[in-house]
Amino acid sequence: MKAKFGDLVSEPVEFRGEVTVKIADAEKIADVCTYAKNDLDLNYLVDISSIDNYGDDPRWTVVYHLRGLRHKCEVRLKTDVSEEKSKLPSVVSVWPTANWHEREIYDMMGIHFRGHPDQRRILMWEGYPHFPLRKDFPLAGKPTELPGVAFTRTTPMEGGPFVTVAGGNSAMSREPRIRIPETDSIETMARLERRKEIQEAHGHPKGPGPIEKK
């Protein structure tokens, strides 16, 4: 890759068995990826992720994880994008699976991918004015008017330790990462009462156990 693109590509850096190469010009990322797939047989796009270097310039780093399914080699490509530009070429033409990866980065970070066939939000609704994975986005979220399409039915995980609690006085009180255990006391008491009922009915808090063969 270095022989092909010269100074555009940095010397490879290896850390814990993983190889990373830096691409100096983000505008050339599609060319590098095309070469990596066709000439180096890195035919599988594992993932595309993004980093918010908040406070630094350039602010964004876009990371491409590539793998060769036949020779089992992997390489990571990194390229920087300024906040002012916040745009770089899409690689959907190289790997069609880049479609959803790029949409998620656009949705969460606000980085645009030029040439993407369907550049729209994938997790948040159209018209949502913020980008939740930026480091300047508050942990508890921001007040936003929600359209009707933003509401869905509750999931089976509702109330779990890593699930936002419905209701509450504010987004802060619903945030699972900062919830105070005492606020879950009602749910805990309900579980204890149910366990007591099972104990009284079956003599064991976990139920009757396996059915014995006659």
The whole-number pLDDT of residue 211 equals 47
pLDDT at 191: 56
Given a cut of 60, whether residue 73 has pLDDT beyond it is: yes
Instruction: For 11-36, write each residue's pLDDT tens digit.
Output: 999 998 899 999 999 999 999 999 99
Round the average pLDDT of the chain to a whole number and report it: 82
Is 153 a residue whose pLDDT tops 90? no
Pick one of 1.20.58.2240, 3.30.460.80, 3.40.47.10, 1.10.150.20 as the CATH number of 1-133: 3.30.460.80
- Whether the ω angle into residue 58 lies within 30 degrees of 0, i.e. cis, is yes
Task: Give domain limits for the chain.
Answer: 1-133
Q: How many residues does the chain have?
A: 214
Per-residue confidence (pLDDT) for residue 197, from 0 to 100 = 73
Least confidently predicted of 19-23, 56-60, 180-184: 180-184
Kindly report the CA angle at 117 between 115 and 118, in degrees rounded to 5? 120
Is the model's pLDDT at 130 over the cut of 50? yes
What is the residue whose two structure tokens read 């998620």?
104
% of the chain at pLDDT higher than 70: 70
User: What integer is the mean pLDDT of 201-210?
Assistant: 58
Instruction: Give residue 141's pLDDT.
Output: 76
